[in-house]
Structure 1
Amino acid sequence: MKAASIKTLKDELKHKNSAELLEVCLKLARFKKENKELLTYLLFEAHDEDRYIEAIKEEMDVMFSEINTKSFFYIRKSVRKILTTIKKYIRYSKKKSTEVELLLYFCMKLKNFKPSIKKSPRIQNVFDTQIRMIKKTMQSLHEDLQYDYNLLLEEIEN
């Protein structure tokens, strides 16, 4: 089965009443975990972005504390998993300021992580890539936010 285009889906959804739309949303939420998470964000967390960011930071703290530090292989795997989770949450929000703030926090946690990431070129590359992503995303933000985030970025880079 080939998936329909977004425009076709949008046009079809316009013809549904509210009860039918509710049923479609609930079916989507039951089908996949990411759909349920996105629906949770849209219904309960989208109105308070600051609380959403804080909740993700707390989850990140827990994930970093649970990393197995016996070898850099396990550290790298865990770091990639954390980054994948963060990127998923960023996709839900679609706000550039949220993206920059979460990636800055991730880089800060990674830089302060023990053992040092400088001992692993692959983890250092992940760090460098995220710094580049932050700089690229920051260019689209308001000047005041750019200034604030640049101060944090310089602190992380030094």
Structure 2
Amino acid sequence: MSQSKPLRDAMKLHFYPFAKEQGFVRGKASSLIAPFSRVEGDMVHWFDLQWEKYLRPYFVVNFCEFPFEGTSALKEQFVDKPEHRGEGYNYGGRLQRSRGGDLYHWFSNAKPLGKILRSFSFTYTPEQAVGELIDSFGELEAWWESKLEGPHIYIF
């Protein structure tokens, strides 16, 4: 069994319904990527949950937005990762526990050092880790609306 299975199960139980409530549709997932997207006005808001490649309990949210181009775009780009870089495409970045480029900054069951010292516990429950993502998702909504970068948004 993968180390990330409890976290993946909590994600399916708590985050997937949350994303659906926000108007997102989940695309075809692989073992490492689960894409989501929605149409807002004339733009597509797209993100994926990316799991750590060795299936340890770490994940990050990659995001972007691009112009909605009708039903053909819906089939080819809506739920799959947009590969085009045309006019109106906003490159986005990542929603993660904190800013930075390495795995330490990704969401996970592992607590940051400061929280370990305060709680005398090394890990979050899977539900707490997913709750951390849900709590920070508003920053992603703010980025789509006005391109504001909150403390959990990392633009690379």
Question: Is this a same-fold pair by TM over 0.5?
Answer: no
Q: Whose helix fraction is larger, Structure 1's or Structure 2's?
A: 1
- Larger Rg, first or second structure (1 or 2): 1
TM normalised by structure 2 equals 0.22
Q: Whose strand fraction is larger, Structure 1's or Structure 2's?
A: 2
TM normalised by structure 1 equals 0.22
